[in-house]
Amino acid sequence: MATRSQTAAVLLAGALALAACGSGGTSQTPAAKSGGKTLVIDTSFDLKTADPGRTYEPTGLIVGKALYETLLTFDGADVTKPVPALAESYELSEDGKTLTLKLKKGATFADGTPVTADDVVFSLSRVRDMKGTPSFLLDGVEVAKTDDSTITLTSKTANAALPYILPNPALGIINSKVAKQNGATADPQDKAEQYLNANSAGSGPYLIESFNVSNQVVLKANPKYYGAKPAYDKVVIRNVEAATQKLNVQRGDSQVALNLSGDQVTGMPATLQVKKTASANVIFLLANQDEAISKTTPNAKFVEAVRKGVDYAGLLELAGEGSTQAPGVIPSQLLGALPADQATKRDVEGAKAALAASGLSNPTVKLEYPSELTVNGLSFQPLAERIQANLKEVGITVDLQPAPVTTALDNYRNGKEEMGLWYWGPDYPDPNDYLAFLPGKTVGLRAGWKTGAAKEIEAAGEKAGAAVGDDARKQAYADVQNKLNASGPFIPLIQPSQNIVTAGSVTGLEYHPVWTVDVADLGVK
């Protein structure tokens, strides 16, 4: 959804949580000591609410996934195909405008009442109409009950991304009767948040026992859950800074540490399990195309020189094991990602030739980035320094301009950076989310790239957005990225590693780019 304004702030907030030192992070709760049926997860909190219609922060999505079920979900870490959850089946119309879902029978809320089509219509309409952070997920989508077991979602234009959007925990289905009794109105005047921060109104495998946005959240197994019972009776999610997360998991005070850097997971004891996998965050460079901002960066040959001059292998060394190069703006986990063998290779001589062809002589450019931002434990500062050294070999002088995140974010959002070093994480695991990089769209405008600046790329984006069917969509989004790589102002760099450490007793953990980890999937040896 390229029109939303809050995306960068949401993503930055999630990343800053990786560096945050939460209050109460080092305290030991009784639950941490209580034995095998309790799971203690340490993470750096980015948490505002347990109300699914309002939540969009990483920690909130972990909680929401445990409390509320969605119509569709994903199987483990595989985000290439949505699978049934509360809906037993779904079908997208040939024109991509109508999604029809059949509800499965037997699903019940925490109070034992059945999940109905009316609950679905209310829940989804509430998210859309409250105008909270996740409301953009259903912009322009009409939700209707066809009969007691059938729901239709109708979009004005082709919306093949919708099945990939519905698994987001923000779209969890709530007990509409209970919610209405406690202030839910499905509009901006809705007052159910306070109730939903203390009580569960979902059909998920867990319930809220206690909820504190600064310290910890305690979940307890839902005794009336109609599905497979979770392995853990209680799950304690604590706000802990990364260094303490490492200590806690090593000494057995926790069983899961979610926010450790590549360096921190090096040399872990053999009794612990370390899962390293490329995150879905793509770190990239932008070169501003607005001549009022720069006389240098709009030059296509200059951008080519930068693209060929970056030492991608060197950046991967900095990022550590589990990281991967980003061949395009769409991360490797998603439908439409470019294959690894299409990633740009460093070509110093080619970069020098492109710079010579640009007509620019020994150019100097400013590279802005947020100084205190970390993504998956990786700081932007060493990346910027490495890029500076790389481009010096080509004949480009890079003036590093680190700034506090609020300052850097303002310049980035307002399209004022000559060059910028940033990242993008998926709002939902579908390539449609990456049309934001096109001219006139959210990220495109941040690079001074206005509508009409690249008509061939814009046409390719329109074709991709309207495409229906996996094969057609893969080809269309690959075409968009190839065109972006050939002549766009963005240079995809790397996907840093997501490092998760667990006790040897924990089974079934899979990193997920939307909800990080599904606690109900975790087992115990």
Secondary structure (DSSP) of 151-167: EEEEESS--TTHHHHTT
- Domain that residue 45 falls in: 7-276+499-524
pLDDT of residue 84: 97
Q: Do 261 and 286 have their domain in common? A: no
Tell me: pLDDT of 198 over 50. Answer: yes
Q: Is residue 366 part of a domain?
A: yes
pLDDT of residue 377: 82
CATH number of the domain at 183, please. 3.40.190.10
Q: How far apart are CA 137 and CA 274, in angstroms?
A: 33
Mean pLDDT of 486-500: 96
Q: Is residue 2 part of a domain?
A: no
Q: Do 260 and 290 have their domain in common? A: no
Express each pLDDT in 1-36 by its tens digit.
333 333 333 334 333 333 333 333 333 343 334 344
pLDDT of residue 147: 96
- Of 26-40, 152-166, 297-311, 434-448, minimum mean pLDDT range: 26-40
pLDDT of residue 261: 87
Q: From residue 60, how far is each of 239, 272, 361, 371, 492 by CA, in Å? A: 12, 26, 50, 26, 28
Q: Is residue 57 part of a domain?
A: yes
Q: Do 503 and 405 have their domain in common? A: no
Mean pLDDT of 85-98: 97
Mean pLDDT of 222-226: 96
Tell me: pLDDT of 55 over 50. Answer: yes
Can you tell me which residue has the tokens 């560096």?
19
Mean pLDDT of 400-414: 93
Is residue 17 within a helix (H) or strand (E), and if so which, with residue range? helix 7-17
Q: Do 267 and 315 have their domain in common? A: no
Q: Is residue 41 part of a domain?
A: yes
Q: What is the pTM of this model?
A: 0.87
Q: Name residue 88's beta-bridge partners.
A: none
Q: Do 267 and 316 have their domain in common? A: no
Q: Is residue 108 part of a domain?
A: yes
Q: Do 298 and 174 have their domain in common? A: no
Mean pLDDT of 412-419: 97
Q: Render 373-421 in DSSP notation, one character per residue.
A: -EETTEEHHHHHHHHHHHHHHHT-EEEEEEE-HHHHHHHHHTT--SEEE
Mean pLDDT of 331-351: 97
Q: Do 519 and 432 have their domain in common? A: no
Q: Is residue 490 part of a domain?
A: yes
pLDDT of residue 78: 93
Q: Is residue 508 part of a domain?
A: yes
Q: What is the gyration radius of the CA atoms in the chain, in angstroms?
A: 23
CATH number of the domain at 318, please. 3.10.105.10
Tell me: pLDDT of 389 over 60. Answer: yes
- Of 91-95, 145-149, 184-188, 380-384, minimum mean pLDDT range: 184-188
Q: Is residue 45 part of a domain?
A: yes
pLDDT of residue 293: 98
Number of domains in the chain: 2
Q: Do 223 and 293 have their domain in common? A: no
Mean pLDDT of 179-194: 95
% of the chain exceeding 70 in pLDDT: 93
Tell me: pLDDT of 215 over 70. Answer: yes
Q: How far apart are CA 34 and CA 29, in angstroms?
A: 9
pLDDT of residue 352: 98
pLDDT of residue 372: 82
Q: Do 55 and 177 have their domain in common? A: yes
pLDDT grade for 376, boundaries at 50, 70 and 90: confident
pLDDT of residue 64: 98
Q: Do 306 and 159 have their domain in common? A: no
Q: From residue 399, how far is each of 13, 200, 329, 464 by CA, in Å? A: 26, 52, 25, 37
Mean pLDDT of 147-152: 97
pLDDT of residue 2: 35
pLDDT of residue 26: 36
Q: Do 217 and 347 have their domain in common? A: no
Q: Do 321 and 272 have their domain in common? A: no
pLDDT of residue 374: 81
- Summary count for the chain: helices (H), strands (E): 15, 23
Express each pLDDT in 348-357 by its tens digit.
999 999 999 9
The phi and psi torsions of 283 (rounded to 5 degrees) equal -85, 135
What is the average pLDDT score of the chain? 92
